[in-house]
Chain A
Amino acid sequence: MIDVLIVGGGGAGLSAAIAAKEVGMEVAVLGKTYPTRSQTSMAQGGINAALGNAGADSVDAHVADTIKSSHMLGDKEMIRRLCEKGPQAIRWLDEIGTPFSRLDDGRVAQRKLGGASAKRACYAQDYTGLKLLHTLHDTALARGVRFLNEYYMLNFIVEENRVLGITAIEMKSGEVKTVRSKSVVIASGGYSGLYFGFTTNSSTSTGDGIAAAIRAGCVLSDMEFVQFHPTALKKSGVLISESARGAGGYLLNSKKERFVDELKPRDVVARAIWEQIKEGEEVYLDIRHLGEAFIEQNLPQERKLAKLYEGIDPVKELVPIKPVAHYTMGGIEVDSTHMTKVEGLFAAGECANAYVHGANRLGGNSLLETVVFGYEAGENAASFALKSNKKVPSMHTWLKRDSEFIGKIYQFANQIDFYEKRTSLGNAFYHKVGIVRNERDLKGVLAAVRRLHEELPLMGIADKSREFNTNLVEFIEFGNMIELAKTVLVGAIGRNESRGAHQREEFPDEDNEKFGGIHSFSWKENGELCNKFGGLRDE
């Protein structure tokens, strides 16, 4: 019997697993991929903590920067807790062996990221996420955490608003299985995958856990807030790190003119690039003046990726770029213990909305959130499991329900190609639910998404085999994307203002009277999507 089940093996999931294991729980981490292949591996910049190793810094300054960036949608208490626990989180990561870059005296090195008032981001070269994730994975193995790799979660099993486990497809065999657990932590990542073809994220960031959460009775909040990264390669959307601009790179339009201060916050730079593109300009990153030696030493990944995807050498040529979806601030609403509206069901990391990023995330705060809140969620899920004396009923009904659902998909007509629809959804989201939005376009996309939802049974799969059926998994992912697309759209349509990452053409300013501290909430009642705007925890 599993006490604590974690869905998702990225930074938040592994931190939760280690925390729950620490107090003697039976812990399993289940995910559609291997833990080390999670989105966390792609994080480059760093993890924030007010250590003050590289110049003066304080928790208060970290709190102030984060509150400012949240544009009145952050919860001050949660932000303070996150920032206060930063230094302790770095000490823990150091103790379990994270290979941080170092200062001469052996302290962890820190650098400045956009929007920070001090050198606050601890890093491991440009592989911060990768090295942090692998260290957590090694630690979880050492502590005896069980891994259910390549299990694709379908639904949470909930009775009387209490989570009892999940249903999942064991991908290797194609069989639907149930996994019982006394408590569950969702740590399944964000939904940038909605912007298919226009995201820096892994192809697996499809928001499955968030979609399953709203189906299970959870509330989602602030789904309209999506952070765009200013510089992704034009053809592929592959990320060119902010460090290219930090090191002195320019942004140029087709006339070879600079048009924005490149060191402004991400949303400002992304918007400036977007305006250029709307006017028919091409936009380029120019790092030629930095010189080959500097580029080879400091931006080798960027050079390699530009050569691979654009066929150009940034030492000699301009790099064509565009802004693309990078991080989703919205997610599953959690209380201050990281529990969702469903008892025993916790959430942490990008899939959750713990109200620390608000309308715009600060670089270096997401890795911190995965570790600090992931760990807390694991501890709280363990306490919940310890107190639990509920008899777990037979899983047969749930197994039957989801097996039949999968069986039905095998019989869907497959008259409409969902891969084509996924591409058009990505296009529509990028162009109309992207950096600058307007009501007419948003409503148009919502109508199109509703139509896609109705057409799902006319879509389906061509591959009818059972073993490792990625055609099937991608189709269910697409269904989850449709589910979440609606919540993003109703939030974006209702928020008649511009705030942080959400910008509306018709309402170019923040409307603090109407929307200051006001969040969007989505949930389901009898299968119908409901939405409202309101203050935090005043329902």
Chain B
Amino acid sequence: MPKIKIRRFDAKRKPQGLVQEWEVKEGSTLLEALTFIKCEKDPSLTFRSGCRSSVCGSCAVRVNGKEVLACAYKPQEGDLVEPRRFAKVIKDLVVDDTEAFKTLKLAKAWLGEPRESAIVTPEDEKRTERQSDCILCGSCYSACPVLETNPAFLGPFALTRDWRYVADPRENDIKSKVDAIQKNGVWDCTLCGECTAVCPQGIDPKSDILMLRTKSTQMGHMDPNMGSFGSFGLDF
């Protein structure tokens, strides 16, 4: 019977935050363990849950500093379970996802203008098959160190979704999508790959961001960081 620690939060309680330790059943998933605690021990324990099979994206939390889907993770002795980062904690493991979800709108991550009689080949479809596996669990957003210093950064999942539509032969208006991810977007990413490491669907936002950078350059945008180096070079 492994013991796990859960970081809890209640805005109306003093102290608001505390870490509690619980014994959970051997072999159960973390989501089953949380459900067991709620139904048998402490009904006030608060977390999100849904499909139990890794497609609804409801139950992402942090365990020992790494994002996991609670339904796909088996707890180990001494694990520390915490809410995701870069979002206000509402209660216990539930964070407010409103701001993170706004990035989808800011990135214009949709098909804006359908192209007449576009043909999508199996190769076209395969090119962004993995990207369209995204379940919007928010793991990558929580893992992204850029958000620590720039809360306005669009973050990995919105950029991946932007690329998924930029690469879609059915999209006629690629420009507005590429324009939308210049500020606080592709150039702010440090390519550290933390997002890729935690994605439960095996998506690689880092490489999608690189693709978007190339596309941006092709469409006349410039890396703002390169700009300053350029003028430095001319000073010789």
Q: Is the pairing of A and B real?
A: yes
A interface residues, Cβ below 8 angstroms from B: 33-34, 36-39, 41-42, 94-97, 99-104, 106, 124-125, 127, 129-131, 134-135, 138-139, 141-142, 149, 172, 202-204, 236, 238-239, 301, 304-305, 308-309, 311, 419-420, 423, 461-463, 465-471
A142 with B43: in contact, given A131-B132, A134-B134 (CB under 8 Å)? no
- Which of A42, A106, A470 meets B121, CB within 8 Å? A106
Distance between Cα atoms of A309 and B121 in the complex (Å) = 37
A37 with B50: in contact, given A130-B135, A141-B105 (CB under 8 Å)? yes
Expressed in whole angstroms, the minimum distance between the Cβ of A192 and any Cβ of chain B is 12
Residues in chain B near residue A308, CB distance under 8 A = 29, 72, 74
A203 with B110: in contact, given A41-B135, A99-B132, A130-B135 (CB under 8 Å)? no
- Which of B32, B57, B90, B124 meets A36, CB within 8 Å? B57
- Which of B46, B50, B168 meets A97, CB within 8 Å? B168
- Which of B105, B136, B168 meets A134, CB within 8 Å? B136
Q: Are A465 and B136 in contact, CB atoms less than 8 angstroms apart?
A: no
| B65 contacts A by Cβ under 8 Å | no
Residues in chain B near residue A106, CB distance under 8 A = 119-121
Q: Are B96 and A127 in contact, CB atoms less than 8 angstroms apart?
A: no
- Which of A127, A138, A311 meets B111, CB within 8 Å? A138
Q: Are A97 and B165 in contact, CB atoms less than 8 angstroms apart?
A: yes
Residues in chain A near residue B40, CB distance under 8 A = 419
User: Considering the complex of A and B, which 9 residue pairs feature the smallest CB-CB distances, nearest first?
Assistant: A97-B111, A463-B44, A138-B110, A142-B110, A419-B39, A106-B119, A462-B43, A468-B91, A99-B132
- State which size class the interface on B falls in: 35 or more
Q: Are B43 and A463 in contact, CB atoms less than 8 angstroms apart?
A: yes
Q: Smallest CB-CB separation from A139: which chain B residue?
A: B110
- Which of A34, A309, A462, A463 meets B97, CB within 8 Å? A34
B interface residues, Cβ below 8 angstroms from A: 10-12, 27, 29, 32, 38-40, 42-44, 46-58, 72, 74, 90-91, 94, 96-98, 101, 104-105, 108-112, 114, 119-122, 124-125, 128-129, 132-136, 161, 164-165, 168, 170-171
Residues in chain A near residue B121, CB distance under 8 A = 102, 104, 106
Most buried by B among A131, A308, A419: A308
Distance between Cα atoms of A462 and B129 in the complex (Å) = 45
Most buried by B among A42, A134, A461: A134
Count A-B contacts at CB 8 Å. 152
A130 with B110: in contact, given A97-B168, A471-B44 (CB under 8 Å)? no
Distance between Cα atoms of A172 and B128 in the complex (Å) = 35
Expressed in whole angstroms, the minimum distance between the Cβ of A433 and any Cβ of chain B is 22
A239 with B50: in contact, given A131-B132, A468-B90 (CB under 8 Å)? no
Expressed in whole angstroms, the minimum distance between the Cβ of B44 and any Cβ of chain A is 4
Q: Smallest CB-CB separation from B104: which chain A residue?
A: A141
Residues in chain A near residue B136, CB distance under 8 A = 34, 36, 134
Q: Are B91 and A465 in contact, CB atoms less than 8 angstroms apart?
A: yes
Q: Are B120 and A102 in contact, CB atoms less than 8 angstroms apart?
A: yes
Q: Smallest CB-CB separation from A414: which chain B residue?
A: B43
Residues in chain B near residue A127, CB distance under 8 A = 55, 132-133
Q: Smallest CB-CB separation from B13: which chain A residue?
A: A465
Distance between Cα atoms of A238 and B97 in the complex (Å) = 27
A100 with B109: in contact, given A36-B57, A41-B51 (CB under 8 Å)? no
- Which of A142, A236, A423, A470 meets B112, CB within 8 Å? A142
Q: Are A311 and B108 in contact, CB atoms less than 8 angstroms apart?
A: no
Q: Smallest CB-CB separation from B52: which chain A residue?
A: A238
Q: Are B91 and A467 in contact, CB atoms less than 8 angstroms apart?
A: yes
Q: Smallest CB-CB separation from A138: which chain B residue?
A: B110
Residues in chain A near residue B164, CB distance under 8 A = 99
- Given A41-B51, A42-B56, A423-B39, 17 additional A-B pairs, CB 8 A: A34-B97, A37-B57, A38-B56, A39-B51, A42-B55, A102-B121, A102-B122, A127-B55, A127-B133, A149-B98, A238-B52, A304-B54, A304-B72, A419-B38, A461-B43, A465-B12, A467-B11
Q: Is the interface of B mostly helix, strand, loop or mixed?
A: loop
Q: Are A236 and B46 in contact, CB atoms less than 8 angstroms apart?
A: no
Q: Smallest CB-CB separation from A237: which chain B residue?
A: B52
Expressed in whole angstroms, the minimum distance between the Cβ of A305 and any Cβ of chain B is 6
Q: Are A467 and B132 in contact, CB atoms less than 8 angstroms apart?
A: no
Expressed in whole angstroms, the minimum distance between the Cβ of B98 and any Cβ of chain A is 7
Residues in chain A near residue B96, CB distance under 8 A = 172
Distance between Cα atoms of A236 and B54 in the complex (Å) = 14
Show 19 residue pairs from A and B whose CB-CB distance is below 8 angstroms, ordered by the A residue. Answer: A33-B48, A34-B97, A37-B57, A42-B53, A96-B114, A99-B129, A104-B122, A127-B132, A129-B55, A141-B104, A149-B98, A202-B50, A202-B52, A204-B50, A236-B32, A304-B54, A309-B29, A462-B42, A470-B38
Distance between Cα atoms of A124 and B134 in the complex (Å) = 13
Q: Are B125 and A99 in contact, CB atoms less than 8 angstroms apart?
A: yes
Distance between Cα atoms of A466 and B122 in the complex (Å) = 50
Q: Are B110 and A462 in contact, CB atoms less than 8 angstroms apart?
A: no
Residues in chain B near residue A33, CB distance under 8 A = 48, 50, 58
Residues in chain B near residue A39, CB distance under 8 A = 51
Q: Are A139 and B111 in contact, CB atoms less than 8 angstroms apart?
A: yes
Q: Smallest CB-CB separation from B92: which chain A residue?
A: A468
Q: Are B111 and A125 in contact, CB atoms less than 8 angstroms apart?
A: no
Most buried by B among A97, A301, A305: A97
